[in-house]
Amino acid sequence: MNNPVSQKVLNLFRTYPKDSFRINTIIKKLKLKDITKGELRGSLNNLIGAGLVVKRNNLYSLNEFASHKDKSKIKSKHRNKKPHKELIPKKVSGKKQIEFTNLDLKVSQGEIVTVTGKYEFYRDRGLLIADWRLKKEIIIPHSENIGAEHGDKILVEIINPNELKNEYSEIYGRVIEILGASGEMDAEILAVMRKFNLSKEFPLAVNDEANRIKFKSETRGRLDLRDEIIFTIDPADAKDFDDAISLTKNENSEYVLGVHIADVSHYVKENTPLDAEALKRGTSVYLVNSVVPMLPEKLSNDICSLKPNVDRLTYSVFITLNKKYSVKSFEISKSIINSKRRFSYEEAQEIIEKGKGDYVKELKKMMAVSKKLTELRIKEGSLDFETKEVKFVTDKKGKVISIKIKERIETMRMIEEFMLLANKCVTKFVTNLSKEHKTTYPFIYRVHDNPDPEKLYTLSEYVKQFGYDIKISFPKPDKNELKKLLEIVKGRPEEYVINDLLIRSMAKAIYTDKNIGHYGLGFDDYTHFTSPIRRYPDLMVHRILNEYQKEKKNIKPKITFYKKVLPDICKQNTLSEINAVNAERDVIKLKQIEYISKHIGEEFDGMITGIMERGIFIELSEILVEGMVRYKDMPDDYYEFDARRHIAIGRRRRNVLKAGDIVRVKVIRANLDNKKIDFLLI
């Protein structure tokens, strides 16, 4: 035992093998006057990690399961180990690690699974209560614990993952990292990041490469647009500005919309550490008030970001609109811009409404054009969903002090409309290229498959309780029926509930190299081109476009290369997107619980959003916090779930509860540990 304090403590436990001691008692017995409790606790944690000592309710004792003869020889690989900043390496003992994404757990021979959860000490054994749906507890042997205490949030590596498939096998794990106390916000958010394999830190090679990149104002091979009126409109708290816009008229008095996107591919080159890390991350992840970026901040917030009054390299799409606002023609070109202004959505909206302010003339024209584009898009078959998002207002310490619903103002719609059109035109360029050369030019498409009629039929049955009747045709549903439903519910209390349910009933949009069109948007050709700072598919699309635009006699090698690599890139980026959405959803839930836990006993208005066997789900109207009213907590009657009619009905009084009902509830429980919120129906 290299540490003399640890050796003294171990000798004490061996002298009294059946006794348990508190830290103060150990200090007194060993006369450790010059050591702090923290230092002693560190020595004790080393002994626990070595399997020599166990802890039960702040009492330390000799581990009776380790043989007395061999105890002094045990050397744990975790001794003196500090909590990891990163997840375990990609290879551990020559085995392959799964990057766990909270999807269905798949385990094959030799693979290692990491999982987060709460550590509990129960009947002489350490257990992990997993954060995700795992029916089994994971046993933590004393020799595999680096100092976790009862109630800690920890990251664990499963030692025998193949046994997860065996219903009767015990599962064992080793503690990799202690994240903090379970139920504390910092530890819970860190657990979410570990759960979804997210890290704000970049590998050293990536940082070194990013730090070597310098901005150079280049005009060769680029359109010089620095004197043009071009500006950005983004969220007030945004730092990475991907896109800028312009609007002019040509000699035929036709509008020419300019969409100018950060030329990230100029800096992030193929087969570099920076590119490999960007592909691995796939997307930036927005965890309420913090960001896990796809690229280091030097690039995302500075060199690539289209900041005002500085030169920036861009990829521009110029879209000429005819008198009816259909696309007459478009051009795509590398460019250089100097943004004249950085607007927030709110600032631009105020200027348009008041009719005065910077670039008011341009902004008003842009708004008028965007509304015409929206009308045309919906007329041509696009579904127009309305969804609600929340914004958390926090204090200096990051604690949530209020929750507000984000208002989707017209300037947000305007930018969305322009980006949709640019994405569509870029994809059309590749489609036209394939037709012109009578060969398939491989590309990354953003596609949305036709909805499953069975799921829509279930939805049609569900919305009948709101009084709506939609007809689902087989085998291909009539989109007009869906558009009619969206139109009918506009402005009604249940609008967002039904919009959300309809979105969930449809197929998920994905990345693929096979173009099947985008059902929801009603586009035959669509990709993601407009956010390369925060999405890897957009960065890849820029590279592909650049190759296809070059005047090469022999493009076949690149076509062969893209045909080979794009399928896997598309699959990985689809998974990265799902991973990010789930992580963001988990953190939103944590922040909602943090807020509502301060309002136990208070009453709120809400809407019933769903009914199941155990109770009814309620979403609070003003803050969009969802919780459950359990039937067992309802004192007025015994309610039963009628699955056929999607209602809950009281056995004695025959009161009926259905989705869409506006109710008054009291908050009775909010548990950050198990992520549950319970209401009481008033």
pLDDT in tens, 350-363: 999 999 999 999 99
Question: Where would I find the H helices in 17-133?
Answer: 23-30, 37-49
Q: What does the alpha-carbon distance between residue 21 and residue 134 come to, in Å, rounded to a whole number?
A: 35
CATH number of 91-195: 2.40.50.700
Calculate the alpha carbon distances from 128 to 22, 137, 182, 263, 580 in Å.
24, 6, 12, 46, 25
Give me the helix-helix angle, 360-379 and 410-437, nearest 10°.
60
Lowest average pLDDT, out of 38-52, 437-451, 569-583, 650-664, goes to: 38-52
The type of residue at 621 is S
Numbered ranges of CATH 1.10.10.10 in the chain: 4-73
Secondary-structure class of domain 600-681 per CATH: mainly beta
Q: What does the alpha-carbon distance between residue 520 and residue 514 come to, in Å, rounded to a whole number?
A: 17
Q: What does the alpha-carbon distance between residue 518 and residue 381 come to, in Å, rounded to a whole number?
A: 11
**What is the pLDDT averaged over residues 169-173?**
90
Strands 676-681 and 626-630 come out as parallel
Task: Considering only the C-alpha atoms of the chain, give the largest distance between any 2 of them, rounded to a whole number of Å.
Answer: 97
Q: Is 70 exceeded by the pLDDT of residue 158?
A: yes
- Report residue 92's pLDDT band, with 50, 70 and 90 as the boundaries: very low
Write out pLDDT tens, residues 625-651: 999 999 998 888 889 998 877 889 999
Q: Report the chain's mean pLDDT, rounded to a whole number.
A: 87
Write out pLDDT tens, residues 433-442: 999 999 999 9
The type of residue at 349 is Q
**What is the pLDDT averaged over residues 303-327?**
97
Numbered ranges of CATH 2.40.50.700 in the chain: 91-195
Write out pLDDT tens, residues 418-460: 999 999 999 999 999 999 999 999 999 999 998 888 888 888 8
Q: What does the alpha-carbon distance between residue 170 and residue 128 come to, in Å, rounded to a whole number?
A: 12
Write out pLDDT tens, residues 517-559: 999 999 999 999 999 999 999 999 999 999 999 877 789 999 9
Indicate the SS3 state at residue 394.
strand
Q: What is the pTM of this model?
A: 0.81
Confidence at residue 112, expressed as pLDDT on a 0 to 100 scale: 53
Numbered ranges of CATH 2.40.50.140 in the chain: 600-681
**What is the pLDDT averaged over residues 573-584?**
96
CATH topology of domain 4-73: Arc Repressor Mutant, subunit A (1.10.10)
Does residue 153 contact residue 123 with C-beta atoms inside 8 Å?
Answer: no
Give me the helix-helix angle, 4-15 and 37-49, nearest 10°.
70
Does residue 112 contact residue 95 with C-beta atoms inside 8 Å?
Answer: yes
